Amino acid sequence: MNRSVVVVGAQWGDEGKGKIVDRLATQADAVIRFQGGHNAGHTLVVGGERTVLHLIPSGVLNDGVECLIGDGVVVSLDALFEEVDLLIEQGIPVLERLSVSAACPLLLPIHAALDTAREVARGKSAIGTTLRGIGPAYEDKVARRGLRIGDLYDSENFSEKLGELFSYHNFMLENYYQVEALDVAPVQVQLQKYAKRLEPYVTDVSARCSELRASGGKLLFEGAQGMLLDIDHGTYPFVTSSNTVAGSACVGSGVGPGDIDAVLGIVKAYTTRVGAGPFPTELHDETGRLLSEAGAEIGATTGRNRRCGWLDVVGLQRAIRACGITHVCLTKLDVLDSFDTIRVCTAYDESGQAKTYEDHRGWQSETSGVQNFADLPEGAQAYVSVIEAHLGVPVVMISTGSGRDDIIERQPVFG
């Protein structure tokens, strides 16, 4: 029986994880975010209303579901409370559902300043970060000079530690990047206000996960970005600064590997990427433009247009291995409705560019909103079978639109 399920992106992110987590959360007791920061953008459409989440787990729209932010997440309190207040305005009792690990690293304005200064200095060699400060915050964590949420409540030492951190980074900003230093005083005042508001929701996420599992609860672990952006296993250096593979769910939430029962890999029916870096199947022609338009491929976090290309099963096979993916959810199948031919990359050449393609006949009929596999056109059913054959993993869910109910469930993920 699957009681603990990890949801990860199997490409470069933007696969539609938020919608799937929101859907599966109706069967779960808790949703746990385990890595990344507010560089994530998870879009939910419920009853025609669109909600974009960045830090808060995508189960927050569901009654009775706990939303836990694990210690692997770098937390900007500015971003967190901006999101909290927006949800409260929408009538969602987010603070009744939210808990945050005391071990979460704090992402501070100085981190965003460093991120921006570095990207500007790189010029044409820029990585294409979201400029949110994610990388510098993770650097401070690894260097053991960063501050964590629990430090907010150490009144004797917090001010000194914060001042030392700002002095360290301001030296680089002024003397290397030749930009203005940041004043620590207003940041400290704001953090003190946030600390009071946050305190009732600070918890031991690892212990809470253990309690829930021991009582028979169902846990849903939510990843951000995608496997090909993993700091160790992705297209380095054009990657994010955290581990996006499924194994990170254990590290970022404090559960053991034996407590994970299944891994659901989210796969877009074609491929997209935001920012710089290799993209073997990228299309620079009219087909790429049509994919972008039909899929509304604009980043929920950055507002940048996504690069588009055909499905890349070579990269997906790597994701299957690295993440131990046991089930696949295929998203945005409906975006391919108008294409007469659909291509799938099955091999690269020595330079890492797409070399071998399979051409499959399109179905050229509408699949949007279909909820039963048998109701899909034969061509769409065949395309799903092709993906299963290449990946060796069953496609158990298919998303046919942006709404919560635009889903085909072929097999339960929680069993």
Give the number of other Cβ atoms within 10 Å of residue 277's Cβ.
Answer: 18
Give the number of other Cβ atoms within 10 Å of residue 200's Cβ.
Answer: 10
Among residues 147, 154, 150, 107, which one has the least CA distance to residue 131? Answer: 107
169 catalytic per annotation: no
Phi, psi (degrees; rounded to nearest 5) at 4: -130, 115
Calpha distance 331→19 (Å, rounded): 10
Beta carbons within 8 Å of 325's beta carbon, 6+ residues apart: 8, 10, 246, 263, 264, 265, 319, 391, 393
Helix (H) or strand (E) run with residue 387 in it: helix 378-391
Residue in 14, 230, 334, 406 annotated catalytic: 14
Phi, psi (degrees; rounded to nearest 5) at 54: -120, -40
Q: What ranges make up the beta strands (E) of 70-163?
A: 98-101
Residue 44 DSSP one-character state:
E
Question: Based on the number of CB atoms within 10 Å of its own CB, is 42 exposed (0-12), middle (13-18) or buried (19 or more)?
Answer: buried
Residue in 42, 54, 111, 233 annotated catalytic: 42
Beta strands 327-331 and 395-399, pairing class: parallel
232 catalytic per annotation: no
Q: Token pair for residue 159?
A: 């001010």
Catalytic positions, please?
14, 42
